[in-house]
Amino acid sequence: MARIFNFGAGPATLPEPVLRQAAEEMLEWHASGMSVMEMSHRGKEFVAIHAQAEADLRELLGVPPSYKVLFLQGGAAAQFAVVPLNLLRGKRSADYVASGYWSKKAIAEAQRYCKVNVAASSEDAGFNHAPKQERWKLDPGAAYVHYTSNETIGGVEFHWIPDTGDVPLVADASSHILSRPLEVGRFGLIYAGAQKNIGPAGLTVVIVRDDLIGQAAAETPAVFDYKVQAEAGSMHNTPPTFAVYVAGLVFQWLRKLGGLKRMEEINVAKAALVYDYLDQTEFYASPVAKEDRSRMNIPFSLRNTALEETFLKQAKGRGLAQLKGHRSVGGMRASIYNAMPMEGVKALVDFMREFERNHG
């Protein structure tokens, strides 16, 4: 079996040990006589899987007891609506920071439910940096402040946590959650689609402070009411059982690796390998301000755009797949999430060097 190096932005590559264990347990989980996919979500076997996954995630992130951890469905895009439905709590406006494609999507959806104050934006600079906090124009009466802490498409990452005072801070952390330690206690709510660093598509993790639940708008569907789901242990409806199981295996893999501090060290080294090369060549270009470069998603372009298709074709021939940039920005993008091994990053940089020698 020959596995490629998958640089796709999501669904993304998973740790090979996790895939192997899931394969070994596919037909029968722990002498239960059935697959996880066949279990009742209320049966003792899956309840144990679910509980262990939550406990491991809490340990990895250091989630305080005063926060609920929810395993939901609908993806991060559903949370664009679910957040205002739950967190407005009678207020009429919320602050949003526009730093790229996904934050703009969140803003557009929130505008269906409340007045959105765009507190800061980097759109005038082509979303090539994270807006500095001193430029933010926050409303102290806002229900919450929302930002996208890593822009998957633009490759912009906030390497700092905003200070929003008494107003709850909300983060869409989909594409860098678990890539480094995170001070959960500084947030009111963190949400993340699973298909980058957590597990298969279909699962959405929500970490929400206790005092922010229980005041959802009357029109909120029960399955998207944080209080309803918290009281039901994320099982008001059937959860994405297999996705939760695989996510649990990923959490265990991270713990065995040494936790998020060790994962961050690895991610820093992987990203540096690519950025150090980009900084010393004129054949390729990196569009993001150096201090805001994402460790997870690295967009780059060829100075000679006519060579892009040749680059992608030859890269695929080397087993380097899904390097084409998002349709909204073009160019290339290498997503090097937690599960991308250093060997894959080295193979990419070696290929980029060779391609430059042959076509520069």
> Dihedrals φ, ψ of 100, to 5°?
165, -165
Which of 56, 172, 225, 292 is an active site residue?
A: 172
DSSP 293: B
Structure tokens at 335: 């997503």
Confirm whether 102 is a catalytic residue: yes
Which of 56, 68, 95, 102 is an active site residue?
A: 102
Which of 196, 227, 270, 324 is an active site residue?
A: 196
Structure tokens at 353: 């060097």
Q: Are 70 and 140 in contact (CB under 8 A)?
A: no
Confirm whether 166 is a catalytic residue: no
272 burial via Cβ count (<10 Å: 0-12, 13-18, 19+) = middle
Nearest to 188 by CA among 204, 205, 164: 164
DSSP string, 140-163: TT-S-EEEESEETTTTEE--S---
**Containing H/E element for 120?**
strand 115-121
Residues 6+ apart with CB under 8 A from 114: 84, 88, 91, 92, 93, 94, 143
Amino acid at 74: G
Amino acid at 275: Y
In the Cβ-directed half-sphere of 175, how many Cα atoms lie within 13 Å? 29
In 3-state terms, what secondary structure has residue 223?
helix
Structure tokens at 29: 């989980």
**Residues with catalytic annotation?**
102, 172, 196
